[in-house]
C-alpha cells in the first residue's frame, strides 16, 4: 500500500505565501506557473505582503511624531520603491544610484535621508540639487567635505550626525554596526566635539542625530540600550546650545527566517516612543528606517534542481540558482527555509546540501535539508525579499535573475532576465 501524501509544510511568518491543493502559491498564483512562464532562477514577490508590512508600520506610527524611511539597500527594485512611495513612505539611501532609483520610482527627495560612510562628492552634489531631507554624516572629514561642496553650489546642507553608541546588537557581526570596532558612525565620546565643529561650518545646518546599531535584531533590549545612550548625549549637546529637530533611530525589527520571534512594529515602536516620553522627549520628531521587515518575508527565490549527486559522505542537490543570485548563505552563513513547489510523500527523502553551479565551495543555498527530490523539481528559497536580488552579482558571467511581482491573480515582470550579451556590451576588446 502506498504511503499517504505528507502534509505540506506550514510557512509561518510568510503572509500571502502558502500551500493550497498541494501547490506552493504566492497570493493566487502557483509558483510552478511562474517558473514555466518566466524561467528560473526567479525572484517572486507578493504585493499584498509588502503592502501589509508597510501598513503595519504606518498604523504603528499613526498620530505619533514619526517619519518612516524605507532602507532602499534591502530591495531597490523600482516597482517596490514605487509601491512604498505611493503609500507615503520616504527613503533611506546609501548611494547616488539609490537616490536615482528613488526619484525614478516617484519618491519625494524631501523625504530622503542620505546615509553611508563614504559619500562621493558627485553624490553629495546630486543629493543637494535634488533637495534631500538630510545627510547622515559619519565623520568630521565628511562634515568639512560636505560643507565645501554645499558652499560651491550655494546651498545649505541639512545634517544629522550618525553616532556609534557602542552597543552590541547581538546579531551577525557583518550586520552589527554599533560596535566599538565598527567603521560606521562617530564614536559617542567624540560626538559633542563633532557637533560643535559642525555648528561653526557656514554651509551646514544641524537638524538631527542618528543611530543605527545593525540589522536582523529580534529583541527590544539593544534598541532601548542604544536609545538611553543617545538621550544622555542629546542632553549634553543641547546643553551646549545646539538644537536638534529629530532623532533617527535607524532600522526596524528583524524577521522570522526560522524560529525567531521578533516584536511587532507596534510593540517595537511603542517601547521606543514610551522610553522617549518617560525621558521628557515625547515631543521629538522620530525617524525609523525599516528595510528587511518590509520586504524580507514577502519574497522567495525559485530554482530548478539540475542534478542530484552523492559523495561518500553527503548528498547534493545542484540547482540553477547560486551564490551570485543569493549571497546571504555564503556571506553570512545565513539560514533560509527551502521548500518544494509541489511536496512529495517523503518516502525517498534524503538530507541534501542544496548548492549552486558556481565554482566555489562556498556556493550553497542550504545545508543538511531533508527533502524528497527528483531532478527537474522546483524549489523555493523563502525569506528572499531582502538582500537577495539587491546583492546579486554576475560572478562566473552568470546573468542575474528576473523578478516578478504577484498581485492577486496577476504576475507582473518587474525586471527582465539579463543576457550574456548585455554583460559583454560595456566591455571593449583590445585592438592589436
Annotated binding site for substrate: 292, 328, 332, 360, 387
13 vs 127, 333, 335, 369, 394, CA distance in Å? 37, 21, 15, 19, 31
Q: Is 359 a catalytic residue?
A: yes
Binding residues for pyridoxal 5'-phosphate: 252, 289-292, 387
* CA–CA gap between residue 362 and residue 330 (Å, rounded): 5
Phi/psi for 77 (5° steps) reads -60, 135
String of DSSP letters for 78-128: HHHHHHHHHTT-EEEESSHHHHHHHHHTT--GGGEEE--SS--HHHHHHHH
* CA–CA gap between residue 352 and residue 312 (Å, rounded): 13
Binding residues: 252, 289-292, 328, 332, 360, 387
Q: Of the listed 261, 359, 430, 431, which one is catalytic?
A: 359
Q: CB burial class (10 A; 0-12, 13-18, 19+) of residue 248?
A: buried
On whether the CB atoms of residues 209 and 233 are closer than 8 A, the answer is yes
CB atoms closer than 10 angstroms to residue 304: 18
Q: Are strands 246-248 and 285-288 parallel, antiparallel or unpaired?
A: parallel
On whether the CB atoms of residues 88 and 58 are closer than 8 A, the answer is yes
Which residues are catalytically annotated?
Answer: 359
Amino acid at each position: 500500500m502506498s504511503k499517504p501524501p505528507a502534509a505540506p509544510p506550514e510557512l509561518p511568518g510568510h503572509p500571502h505565501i502558502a500551500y493550497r491543493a498541494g501547490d506552493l502559491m504566492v497570493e493566487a498564483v502557483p509558483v510552478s506557473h511562474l517558473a514555466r512562464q518566466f524561467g528560473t532562477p526567479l525572484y517572486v514577490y507578493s504585493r499584498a505582503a509588502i503592502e501589509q508590512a508597510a501598513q503595519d508600520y504606518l498604523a504603528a506610527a499613526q498620530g505619533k511624531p514619526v517619519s518612516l524611511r524605507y532602507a532602499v539597500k534591502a530591495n531597490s527594485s523600482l516597482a517596490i520603491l514605487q509601491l512604498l512611495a505611493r503609500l507615503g513612505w520616504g527613503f533611506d539611501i546609501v548611494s547616488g544610484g539609490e537616490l536615482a532609483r528613488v526619484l525614478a520610482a516617484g519618491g519625494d527627495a524631501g523625504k530622503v535621508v542620505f546615509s553611508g560612510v563614504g559619500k562621493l562628492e558627485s553624490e553629495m552634489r546630486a543629493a543637494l540639487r535634488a533637495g534631500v531631507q538630510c545627510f547622515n554624516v559619519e565623520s568630521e572629514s565628511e562634515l568639512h567635505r560636505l560643507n565645501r561642496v554645499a558652499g560651491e553650489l550655494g546651498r545649505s546642507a541639512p545634517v544629522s550626525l550618525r553616532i556609534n553608541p557602542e552597543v552590541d546588537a547581538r546579531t551577525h557581526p557583518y550586520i552589527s554596526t554599533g560596535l566599538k570596532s565598527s567603521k560606521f558612525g562617530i564614536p559617542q565620546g567624540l560626538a559633542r566635539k563633532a557637533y560643535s565643529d559642525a555648528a561653526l561650518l557656514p554651509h551646514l545646518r544641524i537638524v538631527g542625530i542618528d543611530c543605527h546599531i545593525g540589522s536582523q535584531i529580534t529583541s527590544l533590549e539593544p534598541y532601548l540600550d542604544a536609545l538611553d545612550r543617545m538621550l544622555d548625549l542629546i542632553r549634553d549637546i543641547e546643553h551646549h546650545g545646539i538644537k536638534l529637530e529629530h532623532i533617527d533611530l535607524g532600522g526596524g525589527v528583524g524577521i522570522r527566517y526560522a524560529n525567531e520571534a521578533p516584536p511587532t512594529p507596534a510593540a517595537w515602536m511603542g517601547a521606543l516612543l514610551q522610553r522617549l516620553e518617560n525621558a521628557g522627549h515625547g515631543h521629538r520628531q522620530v525617524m525609523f528606517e525599516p528595510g528587511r521587515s518590509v520586504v524580507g518575508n514577502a519574497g522567495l527565490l525559485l530554482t530548478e534542481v539540475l542534478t542530484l549527486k552523492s559523495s561518500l559522505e553527503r548528498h547534493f542537490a545542484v540547482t540553477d540558482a547560486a551564490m551570485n543570485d543569493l549571497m546571504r548563505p555564503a556571506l553570512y552563513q545565513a539560514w533560509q527555509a527551502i521548500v518544494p513547489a509541489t511536496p512529495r510523500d517523503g518516502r525517498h527523502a534524503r538530507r541534501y546540501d542544496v548548492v549552486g553551479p558556481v565554482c566555489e565551495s562556498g556556493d550553497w543555498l542550504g545545508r543538511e535539508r531533508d527533502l524528497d527530490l527528483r531532478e527537474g523539481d522546483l524549489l523555493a528559497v523563502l525569506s528572499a525579499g531582502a538582500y537577495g536580488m539587491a546583492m546579486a552579482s554576475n560572478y562566473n558571467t552568470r546573468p542575474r535573475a528576473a523578478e516578478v511581482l504577484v498581485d492577486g491573480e496577476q504576475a507582473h515582470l518587474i525586471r527582465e532576465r539579463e543576457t550574456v550579451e548585455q554583460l559583454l556590451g560595456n566591455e571593449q576588446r583590445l585592438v592589436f
